[in-house]
Structure 1
Amino acid sequence: MSSLYDCETWEPLLRLLRTAHAQALAAPGGQVSGTIGRGSYSVPVKWRYPPPGRAMLLSDNQAEHDAIEQVRGALSGAGVNDIAFTAEIPPNGAAVLRLFDRSAATERGIGNSPGTLILVEGAVPEPWRRLPERCEGARPAPSADPERLGRVLRERIPEAIGATEEEIAAAERRLGLALPEEVKALYQVTRGRWEDWQGNDGAEQRVFDAVGFELGSLEDLAVADLSHWSYFRWQHAATGAVLTGPDDAVQDLVGSPGWIVLGGTGGGERVAVDLTPGPRGHLGQVIVLDNRQNIGASLWTESLTDLALGPERPWYTGHRWDKQPLTAIVHDGSIRSIEAAAHPALEVLRIGAWTGEPLSLAPVVGLPRLRTLCAYPGTLADPLEIAALTALKFLELAPGDWRALLDAAAVPGSLSAASVHTSGQEDPRHIVALTNEILALWDRPPTTETVVTGDLGPLA
């Protein structure tokens, strides 16, 4: 068995946890819990902070770092990405460590959250399935001028090495589409290869200044499809909606086969030309894909020529947060009733912090497009009303509401994914048992538990 399941691997961390939570662990049933992954962790160990005026150093928390790295080494050796745990350490030191290997059907959550349960193999949130509408009649902007763009760029970066016609043709074959004339003109001046700038002080900055953004190489051109948003979680996308209005320049999409990524802003956002513009957009307009948003893009400028002539303009134009009537949030500071949220086009209903009487879902029963429901604990008058929401694909509820549905055999069979809303105070063993019950309804693999025991000796 892997060293991941040896008490010796965990002993340094268990000792730190006992020191930090001695009183809580000494109480009957006392335990601490956390999650450790190869890239991140959530463990309740108290950090030591440096004195005012000094930055924090690794050595300030060396013991914690070493304890976590020892577990991470075992994770890598076992081929496991992350693992959740609970630890019971009574004063006599007889430790009981419970390790929970996440189900292959579970997408990892944030912190100690149980994450999203993928109930249907290969299922994706509805916004990820949306393709662009046909942009009949879309034309390049009047400012688009490939010859002028090429001329301006050659004047600014005369030392740049341009791509050959064959190199451009190879890129088109790889992408499976014809590049816009402005894009060809751009790469005919500079092919964007980093190695072309080596030994030429300031060359990379001059290209940035000339073009208006960090240009990637011709070989790195890519289509911004769903993989662009792969780091966003299922539940985030499930609570979003796609809404393109008649006056929008950019289609409100997760990704598009017509979004060709050329480079970045320098701040992590991607710069692309758009071949599938919205009703008020132009073919080949320049858009920015914000890495903080999982739906949509911002229009930067109507053409690459326009950008090159005015590169100082800001790219961020804001995002549309209000997508009513497709999405609705009922809580104390927003919509004040389910009735007010109900609409034939409603796709996503979220019920947040609520101090009034619990709410009935009766007003939204029968809505044909309602695919997502998320409800905070204590907000639902009768969780069994959920059984009448026959179009649901994603459901997030508190443990008590899930318990009511499971006991009544009323979990909607239409679901593709689900989540258990936790506050962090619940016993992880109970949450694992609950999620395994839900997974079992779809014959999905469960989260497994391994119990490890060890003796840390009594507290000094």
Structure 2
Amino acid sequence: MVDQKPSLPSIHDFATWEPVLRLLRAGDAEKHAAAPSARVEGRIGRHGWSLALQRRLPPPGRAAQIEDMQDELDAVKRVQSALADAGVDDISFTAEISPTGKTALHLLGPSPAVEPGIGNPHPGALILVEGSLPEPWHRLPDSVPGAVQAPSANPELLEQTLRERLPDAIGATEAEIAAAEARLGVTLPDELKALYRVTRARWEDWGDDYEAAERVSAAVGCELFALEELYVADASSRHCRWEFAAMVAVVTPPDAVVQGLVGSPGWIAFGDNGGGDRLAVDLTPGPRGHTGQIIMLDHEQNIGAEILADSLTDLVMSRRREERRDRRRDQPPVVARVNIASLKSIQAAAHPGLEVLSIGVWDGAPLSLAPVTGLPRLRTLTAYPGTLADPLEIAELTGLEFLELGPAEWRVLLDAGAVPRSLSAAAIEVHGNHNPLTIVAIANELLALWDRPRIIQTVVEGTLGPGPVA
């Protein structure tokens, strides 16, 4: 007789969710004690979860241990296993639980047109146009006809120095360098070729010798990628959620050393600083930069890069530099924020170059959008719930590609048939205790206008039995 593993509960089986629902109900028993029913909600993904649970405090004098939240881990793992079995990455839910334990569980999602929310069960950005990207992700580098290599660029000195530092290194052949160029579709600069002629940085060449790898990092000044791992750090390599990507703008001042791009076909990433920030040779420098300068792409930033050295030779010789940051205080910002701590009016934000307008927490009278009507480059508007005097003024903003509003403001636009058809993506800003079903209904109305896949809603019924006494 062959032993068979028991089949995993389906994501649509009430038993899959029962442990999570019990924990959520028990965790807020006092709040729900006087209510006719309890509403609990959350989000669980294959690699994380967000549940409103108060974890038990460890005994005095002892740090928290995994065992202190074992019930939560076991409950979540049960759902995660079902997600993996179903091939689903992430799902949110809300449930109504009666005092007798009768439960209606609503599973929400997924949809290929919706990004997961962050830290709550509400949907993230709605991708109204399939494959669309915010404007900065379409921007290519400007031509800088006068750009030349830095005087310090010296492939011969670079190669000689590295051979002295790494006498036993295995270098790349000319055929291997040519293969890398063919793969990347770009000719490697002479300094980068010189570096890889000394060491091709393959782990197998070091025989799993960590000290050998560290010697290469020390010699070059970064954790060097193997020749086969070089990549072009163009915009497609810098993924960002729509609601964050829509809030940045490409700005390259006349005295910039590095162009303020998301990515460039001339940024060849060749290493890491050990903290997740990538180093690249820059073949498309800013107006005051040098061709072949070394830049760093900060993994915590969505746009732009910082200068590290005028040349790869300078990097290896530890001659680094810092970019002088010109904040251009004499120029109005292309990304403007109106709130209690920043700009105090829409008028103060309005100018022909404005691309992004964010209206945040506001303690004054609701604001009119009239000052920004007709601005040629305005593409993003986000407005905190309750800050707009008349949401229908949005219909006059004909160039918007991204719009984020509160549920009430979206309701006004939907009821009036005034949702801008120029949008590529949208988001619903949720504050307070909104029922996720209400938010999903608005999201699905917006998706329907573009004939995009709606958020799937599945109702699973079951019983938990009487709840705990508060």
| Coarse TM-score class (shorter-chain normalised) | over 0.9
For 2:147, the aligned partner's letter is A
Could you tell me whether the CA contact under 8 Å between 2:332 and 2:351 is conserved in 1? no
The share of aligned pairs that are identical, in percent, is: 60
In structure 2, the residue matched to 1:416 is 424
Give, in angstroms, the shift of residue 30 of structure 1.
2.9
CA deviation string 1:23-49 (max 9, x = no partner): 333413530111111122111122234
Q: Which moved more, 1:11-20 or 1:53-62?
A: 53-62
For 1:19, the aligned partner's letter is A
CA 1:28–1:183: 2 relative to 1, 3 Å? same
In structure 1, the residue matched to 2:3 is none
In structure 1, the residue matched to 2:440 is 432
Match of residue 260, structure 2, among 252, 257, 266: 252
TM-score, scaled to structure 1: 0.95
1:399 aligns with 2:378: no
Give, in angstroms, the shift of residue 294 of structure 1.
0.7
In structure 2, the residue matched to 1:275 is 283
Match of residue 243, structure 2, among 235, 251, 256: 235
Give, in angstroms, the shift of residue 73 of structure 1.
0.6
In structure 2, the residue matched to 1:188 is 197
1:24 aligns with 2:16: no
Match of residue 360, structure 1, among 337, 359, 368: 368
Consecutive unaligned residues of structure 1, counting only runs of 5 or more, are none
Give, in angstroms, the shift of residue 52 of structure 1.
6.1
Give, in angstroms, the shift of residue 377 of structure 1.
1.1
Superposed counterparts of 1:63-142, under 5 Å: 63-112=71-120, 113-142=122-151
In structure 1, the residue matched to 2:14 is 7
Q: Which moved more, 1:2-11 or 1:380-389?
A: 2-11
Could you tell me whether the CA contact under 8 Å between 2:367 and 2:388 is conserved in 1? yes
CA 1:390–1:40: 2 relative to 1, 3 Å? same
Could you tell me whether the CA contact under 8 Å between 1:95 and 1:456 is conserved in 2? yes
In structure 2, the residue matched to 1:143 is 152
Match of residue 377, structure 2, among 352, 363, 369: 369
Could you tell me whether the CA contact under 8 Å between 1:25 and 1:32 is conserved in 2? no
| CA–CA distance in structure 1, aligned partners of residues 113 and 48 of structure 2 | 20
> How many residues get paired?
458
Could you tell me whether the CA contact under 8 Å between 1:301 and 1:307 is conserved in 2? yes
| CA–CA distance in structure 2, aligned partners of residues 217 and 44 of structure 1 | 45
Q: In angstroms, what is the RMSD of aligned CA positions?
A: 2.0
Could you tell me whether the CA contact under 8 Å between 2:36 and 2:99 is conserved in 1? no
For 1:182, the aligned partner's letter is E
Could you tell me whether the CA contact under 8 Å between 1:24 and 1:31 is conserved in 2? no
Secondary structure at the aligned position of 2:54 is classed as coil
Consecutive unaligned residues of structure 2, counting only runs of 5 or more, are 1-7
| CA–CA distance in structure 2, aligned partners of residues 137 and 52 of structure 1 | 67
Secondary structure at the aligned position of 1:31 is classed as strand
CA 1:55–1:241: 2 relative to 1, 3 Å? same
1:222 aligns with 2:231: yes
| CA–CA distance in structure 2, aligned partners of residues 56 and 316 of structure 1 | 44
Give, in angstroms, the shift of residue 148 of structure 1.
0.5
Give, in angstroms, the shift of residue 56 of structure 1.
3.3
| CA–CA distance in structure 2, aligned partners of residues 256 and 351 of structure 1 | 31
CA 1:362–1:152: 2 relative to 1, 3 Å? same
In structure 1, the residue matched to 2:220 is 211
Could you tell me whether the CA contact under 8 Å between 1:163 and 1:188 is conserved in 2? yes
| CA–CA distance in structure 1, aligned partners of residues 430 and 326 of structure 2 | 29
CA 1:318–1:57: 2 relative to 1, 3 Å? farther
In structure 1, the residue matched to 2:53 is 45
Give, in angstroms, the shift of residue 314 of structure 1.
8.1
For 2:19, the aligned partner's letter is P
Could you tell me whether the CA contact under 8 Å between 1:298 and 1:319 is conserved in 2? no
| CA–CA distance in structure 1, aligned partners of residues 95 and 323 of structure 2 | 46
Secondary structure at the aligned position of 1:106 is classed as coil
| CA–CA distance in structure 2, aligned partners of residues 219 and 321 of structure 1 | 40
